[in-house]
Homo-oligomer: A and B are copies of this chain.
Amino acid sequence: MSTSRLEAFSDGVLAIIITIMVLELRPPEGHVEFADLQRLTPVAISYVLSFVYLGIYWNNHHHMLHVTQRATGGILWANLHLLFWLSLVPFVSGWMGENHFAPVPTSVYGVVLLLAAIAYFILQQVIIAAEGNHSVLAAAVGSDWKGKLSPVLYLVAIPTALWYPLVACAIYAFVAIIWLVPDPRIERMVAETESPEPE
């Protein structure tokens, strides 16, 4: 069975998740000044952060399924598991933004990011297990320092958020930037430290 319908369904769910977040942006009726927009700033920042995260997930998901030959039952469920955690992003994003990055919502935001990262890792392993260690994906993943560093950073940010929520937000933003800006130098350096053979 090919992965085309799996991709179509995932695209649909990710498209909806990324779009319904905008429903959180609601200025109270009758407020029509620039100051009313300013009050939305935390919600807007939270929206941008979550939009970028979902974009990164869509992007990586896209590449991962591109090199996947066929969809097994395990892959279907590992994929749904990932979509489940991503589907909670609009909820925690709205909670965090509307409450101006209060400690608990900011911490819970990190928990959802962590669980989504774990779900992504599981999906990756299930695909590699199905495709074999010599598959394109296994080679492409390589040392996967980003995939290993991100959960560690989330684990740091989650308790930090309870005292310094803005520091936690900065960590979330930093992780997003790691994924956005693919600096080949860092990648090579980390790759050399971890595995001596060339990618």
Contacts and interface: CB of A to CB of B under 8 A. Distances in A.
Interface in A14-71: 14-20, 22-23, 25-27, 29-30, 32-34, 36-37, 48, 51, 55, 58-59, 62-63, 66
A148 B103 CA distance: 46
A12 B16 contact: yes
A17 B20 contact: no
B105 A32 contact: yes
A8 interface: yes
B7 A73 contact: no
A112 to B, nearest CB: 11
Contacts of A48: 84
Q: Classify the interface of chain A: helix, strand, loop or mixed.
A: helix
A106 B16 CA distance: 27
B14 A16 contact: no
12 contacts: A9-B15, A12-B12, A15-B15, A20-B22, A20-B23, A22-B88, A23-B23, A29-B98, A32-B104, A37-B108, A48-B84, A59-B80
Interface of A: 1, 5-9, 11-20, 22-23, 25-27, 29-30, 32-34, 36-37, 48, 51, 55, 58-59, 62-63, 66, 73, 76-77, 80, 83-84, 87-88, 90-91, 95, 98-99, 102-105, 108, 180, 182
